[in-house]
Amino acid sequence: MENIVKKPLTRKKISLIIIGAFLLFFLGYYSIMSVLGPGKKLNEIKARFGSQQVSENITDVRFYTDSAYINLLKEKVFLQSKISMAETDSIYITLNVADSTANLEISGVTVHSARINDLKISRILRPGNDYVIPVMLASPMTIISDFASIKKEP
């Protein structure tokens, strides 16, 4: 009979096991959060900008899913945003995803127009949320702060 002698774990092996377990835990947590994050953000957007029914007026759900209504709503929101931006004296950019153009405008006059060749849309903004997105984008977005490696000259 042979005697099998077990070697005790050294500090190096213990530290490798602990680091490996920590990395495995971190990767698992990151994977789960990356899957759950977009759904949570979509629920926040729907809660803030989704259709809100008043108890007196019960609106038919088909009204908000009608493609003709959604297209008219998108066009109305786009034009209202352009009008509100044209009232300012600053330069702004309008992105028309349907026409694949980006226009640089001042007071409603297009100064430069460029074609958008490649466009990637987040899965949150894809079809299925047709009513929420136009309402969310109804007002123009403004830049609150910026960061650049080249100094901005007035």
Would you state the pLDDT for residue 55? 47
Whole-number pLDDT of residue 28:
95
In this structure, what are the phi and psi dihedrals at residue 12, rounded to the nearest 5 degrees? -65, -45
Give 57's DSSP letter. S
- Exposure string of 59-96, with b = 16+ CB inside 10 Å and e = fewer, is eeeeeeeeeeebeebbeebbeebbeebeeeeeebebee
Backbone angles phi, psi at 63, to 5 degrees: -60, -40
Mean pLDDT by runs of 10 across the 154 residues of the chain is 72 91 95 86 75 54 71 81 81 82 87 89 66 71 77 70
DSSP state of 94: E
pTM of the entire predicted model: 0.52
pLDDT at 125: 67
The confidence score (pLDDT) of residue 107 equals 84
Beta bridge pairs of residue 91: 106
Helix (H) or strand (E) holding 91: strand 91-96
Q: Can you tell me which residue has the tokens 């987040």?
A: 122
